[in-house]
Structure formats: structure tokens, C-alpha cells
Copies of this chain bind each other. A is one copy, B any other.
Amino acid sequence: VGCDVTEKYYSIHEMMMMFDVSSRTIRYYEELGLIHSIERALPNQQRTFSDSQRRRLKLILRGKRLGFSLHEIKEMVDLIEHNSTGEEGKERIIAYADQKIKELEEKIQELQTTKEEILAHRQRFLDE
């Protein structure tokens, strides 16, 4: 179980419990390349996840709650962890980040508006 003293590892069961998702969902995300388990020597061997993958799953689930598609989420998570980003394409990555930040700000704005509307109607309802 322990290879490196400095990092924690998790079974699929622990991941399930931690985030209250099914094992099927976790495998599905791995299938899509959203998360990765430690390489297994043999097939049919149990999955093990590093702590970085635990955090990744956390990000993914947050993204889902926020209404992003798994595809968008993959882009964002890859960005945040900036894995597998070539050297020359720095500008593209920055541009993508700026784009996403703009989108996030718009969403925040719209949520704020929605909240205020509901609040207003709630109030109007109380005053009747």
C-alpha cells in the first residue's frame, strides 16, 4: 500500500465514500480520461489512486455541480494542473484561462441576479 512516505493512496472504495459517488462513476471518469489510477501490472487488479487524483475528482465534482459538461471540466482540470502542456503554447493556455475566467464571472453575475430576484419576490410575498 505504501510506496512513498510522502503521498497518500486511496482505493476506489475510499474514493466512493469520500465523495459519495458510485464506483461505476469513478471508473467511467477514468474511462474518459478525467482521472487516472496508478498503473497496474496485471489486468483485473484493483485500482489505486494518488492524492492528486483525489483532488482531481474533487474538482470534477465541483465542476459538475456548477453545470459544466465533463468535456469542459476536463479542459479546466487539465489547465489547473497544467499537465501535458507543451512549452510553446503558453499563450494559448493563458488565453484559455482568461476566457474561462470571463465565463466564470458572467455566471457569478447571473447567479447574483437570480438570487436578488428570488429575494425580491420572497419579500414581496411577505408584504403580500
Where the two chains meet, the residues of A that have a C-beta atom closer than 8 Å to any C-beta of B are 62-63, 65-68, 76, 79-80, 82, 90, 93-94, 97-98, 100-101, 104-105, 107-108, 110-115, 117-119, 121-122, 125-126
Contact = CB atoms under 8 A, between A and B. Distances in A.
| Consensus secondary structure, chain A interface | helix
A113 B118 CA distance: 23
A107 B111 CA distance: 8
Contacts of A97: 118-119, 121-122, 125
Nearest to A121: B80
Given A76-B118, A79-B118, A104-B118, 12 more contacts: A66-B67, A66-B110, A82-B121, A90-B125, A94-B125, A100-B118, A101-B122, A104-B111, A104-B114, A104-B115, A107-B111, A108-B111
